[in-house]
Amino acid sequence: MLTLYSHQWHALDDFVEDVQMNLLPEQSLHLDWEMNRVGTPVRFSLGLTPTALLLYAATPGTPLLSTTSSSGAFEEGLWNYDVFELFIAPEAEPGYQEFNLAANGAWWTAVFNAPREKNLNYVPPRSIEIRKGLNTDGCWAALSFPISSLGIKGVQDLSLRGHAASITGANPRRYCSSLLNAVDTEALPCKPDFHQPKLWQSLQQKAFITEISK
């Protein structure tokens, strides 16, 4: 089950700091579509403030990146390279929104009315706040997405279901999914397909409370 932490982070840097200081728990995508365990998985954290959805993803090793993308660039097709993907959907509605975040800070989002049926009327923001950097075993990137720019409902009242995934490697490509920890794998298609909103589980919402030592 995915966990979405709510807190009054004043800036994206504060959220990143809490993750990297191990104050905010990370989740990992440690099973690929063939049910093989990944030695060093992609790790991620999800946050929510009154005004923004926050994503942090750490990719191990040297990531495969688009040669045309850069930090802050909005680029469709990041799934052809190493990428972290988040899907969120209102509990009671069929539509959902997909977010892609590459280790170099490139990003993409789209709204879907039904599986792979893109909502062509949705216009994403022209730019968002992005951070990226290196850690001990690879790269990380984080984004802050304004709630006012979301194309779905349900975020403010925390009534969401969702799914996280990663695509990494060149040969072979590894498709990891949070679905593999939560559902009967017989319900999944043989080929990797992350657009399975009927199988997504409710997001677990938790308040993040920091303890400050004096």
Q: State both tokens at 82.
A: 């190493």
CA distance 148 to 136: 35
Q: Please report the pLDDT score of residue 36 as a whole number.
A: 87
Q: Is 212 domain-assigned? A: no
CATH of the domain at 137: 2.60.40.1190
Q: Is 178 domain-assigned? A: yes
Average pLDDT over residues 41-52: 96
Contact 137, 162 (CB under 8 A): no
Q: Is 213 domain-assigned? A: no
Q: Please report the pLDDT score of residue 211 as a whole number.
A: 55
Q: Is 78 a residue whose pLDDT tops 70?
A: yes
pLDDT digits (tens, 9 = 90+) for 120-134: 999 999 999 999 999
Q: Is 214 domain-assigned? A: no
Q: Please report the pLDDT score of residue 212 as a whole number.
A: 47
- From the list 62, 37, 208, 47, the residue with the least C-alpha distance to 135 is 62
Q: Please report the pLDDT score of residue 177 as a whole number.
A: 92
Weakest-pLDDT range from 55-69, 159-173, 182-196, 197-211: 182-196
User: Residue 137 sits in which domain range?
Assistant: 3-207
Q: Please report the pLDDT score of residue 34 as a whole number.
A: 86
Q: Please report the pLDDT score of residue 182 as a whole number.
A: 65
Q: Is 76 domain-assigned? A: yes
Q: Please report the pLDDT score of residue 112 as a whole number.
A: 97
The number of folded domains in the chain is 1
Q: Is 154 domain-assigned? A: yes
Q: Please report the pLDDT score of residue 53 as a whole number.
A: 96
Q: Please report the pLDDT score of residue 214 as a whole number.
A: 30
Q: Is 48 domain-assigned? A: yes
CA distance 89 to 2: 13
If one compares 184 and 80, the residue with the highest pLDDT of the two is 80
Q: Please report the pLDDT score of residue 48 as a whole number.
A: 94
Q: Is 93 a residue whose pLDDT tops 50?
A: yes
Average pLDDT over residues 172-193: 80
Q: Please report the pLDDT score of residue 119 as a whole number.
A: 97
